[in-house]
Amino acid sequence: MDNTPVLEWIANASDGRKVTLAQLLVYELRVRDAMHKDPVTARPSDSLRSIQNLMKTHRISGVPITQDAQLLGIISIEDIINALDKGHINEPSDKWMTSTPVTLRDHYTLVRAVAEFDRHGFGRFPVLDACERLVGIITRGDISNALVHHLEKRAEEAVAHEAVLVAERQADEKVQRVVLRTPIKSGDFDSAGRVSQRMREVLRERGIDPDARRRAAIVAYEAETNIIIHSIGGELRAVIEMERVTIDAIDQGPGIEKVELAMEEGWSTAGPMARQLGFGAGMGLPNMKKCSDRFEVRSELGIGTHLHAEIDLKKAESKT
C-alpha cells in the first residue's frame, strides 16, 4: 500500500462510485486479522544496543517495551539511529523510549486502522486487547498483506461457487422479493452485520453485479452501526427485488439536529467509547449517499431518524 491517505482512497474509488472488493474488505476485517501476533518485545532495563540487535535479527523496525505483557513504550529504528548519533546506545531503553505510544485495539476495523496511519504518520502501532495487554503490532504492510490474502481467498471461493451459481440463478428468478429485517439494539456491536451479510448472500446467489452488491453492503453496514452508536435502538430492513435493493433504517431517537451537517464528511458526534471501537470518522452518511442511487435521511429531534436508500441492481456480465 502506498502513502495515499487510505480513507481518501476508500471514499474516492476509480470512477467516484465503484466500490472494489478491497475497499469492502477494510470494513470487514479487523486489526486482529492483519496484525503480527506475538511481537518481539524488550524489557525497560534492556539497553538500546540489545534492541538494535533484536531489530537486526528479526528484521523489524520497532520494538515495544513491556513488563508482564503491559505496554510501557516503544523504541523505533529512528530512536536507535539517534542513540548511535548522540552516544547513548548503551543506556536502558526506558530512558529513551516513546512512552504512552498511540495504540490500536485488536477489534478495530481496518478502516479505522488505516485512518490512524494517515492521521499520525507512524510506521507501526502496538495493538492491545480489551484487557490492555499487548497482543500484536501492525504496519501498513501487514494491512496490505491481509488484503491480498483475503482477496485470494475470495477469488478461490468465487471459482468454486461459479458452477453452482448458474443453476441457482434460474431458480432464483422465481423468488421475486426477499425481505430481511432485524431489530437493532443500542450498543450491540457484537451482532452487527447480519442483514448486510445475508443480503450479500442473496445478491450473490442472484448473480448480481459485485459492485452493486458491495455498495448495498456498505449502506446496510453503515446504517446499522449508526443505529448502534447514535440511537437508542431501531430496525434495519432490506427488501431485495430483481431490479433494486431498498434499505430502510428506522430508529426511535434521539434524532439528528441538522441533517445537512451530519451529511458532511468528517462531521461526527461519536463519543470516546465509539471512537475506541473504531467508529466516528464521520464518513458513514457521506459514504452511504455515494453508494446509493437514491438516498434520503429524515430526522426529527426527540422522535427518531429514518434513513432510506435504494441501490439499483444489474446482473453481472457472464464471462463465457
Ligand X SMILES: Nc1ncnc2c1ncn2[C@@H]1O[C@H](COP(=O)(O)OP(=O)(O)OP(=O)(O)O)[C@@H](O)[C@H]1O
Positions touching ligand X (CB under 6 A) are 222, 226-227, 229-231, 251, 254, 256, 262, 267-270, 279-285, 305
Binding piece for Mg ion, criterion CB under 5 A, among 160-168, 241-249, 258-266, 278-286? 278-286
Q: How far is the CB of 41 from ligand X (least distance, A)?
A: 32
Q: Which is nearer to ligand X, 49 or 289 (CB)?
A: 289
Cβ–Cβ under 8 Å, residues 60 and 139: no
Q: Which is nearer to ligand X, 123 or 233 (CB)?
A: 233
SS3 assignment, position 105: strand
Q: Which is nearer to ligand X, 71 or 219 (CB)?
A: 219
- Please give the single-letter amino acid code of residue 139: T
Q: Which is nearer to Mg ion, 97 or 220 (CB)?
A: 220
Task: Pull the grid cell for residue 107.
Answer: 477489534
Q: Which is nearer to ligand X, 212 or 283 (CB)?
A: 283
Task: Pull the grid cell for residue 217.
Answer: 453492503
227: partner contacted, choices ligand X, Mg ion, none (Cβ within 5-8 A by kind): ligand X
Taking CB atoms, the residue at the shortest distance from Mg ion is: 284
SS3 assignment, position 209: coil
Q: Which is nearer to ligand X, 135 or 229 (CB)?
A: 229
Q: Pick the binder of Mg ion from 73, 126, 284, 286 (CB under 5 A).
A: 284
Q: How far is the CB of 232 from ligand X (least distance, A)?
A: 9
Beta strands in the chain (DSSP E): 36-37, 62-67, 70-76, 98-99, 104-105, 124-128, 134-139, 178-184, 234-240, 244-251, 294-300, 304-312
SS3 assignment, position 109: strand
Taking CB atoms, the residue at the shortest distance from ligand X is: 284
The single-letter DSSP state of residue 2 is -
User: Is residue 226 part of the contact set for Mg ion (CB under 5 A)?
Assistant: yes
CA angle 87, 88, 90 (to 5 degrees): 120
280: partner contacted, choices Mg ion, ligand X, none (Cβ within 5-8 A by kind): ligand X
23: partner contacted, choices Mg ion, ligand X, none (Cβ within 5-8 A by kind): none
Residues ≥6 apart with Cβ < 8 Å to 279 = 112, 225, 229, 270
73: partner contacted, choices ligand X, Mg ion, none (Cβ within 5-8 A by kind): none
**Phi, psi (deg, nearest 5) at residue 288:** -60, -40
Q: Give residues in contact with Mg ion (CB under 5 A).
A: 226, 284
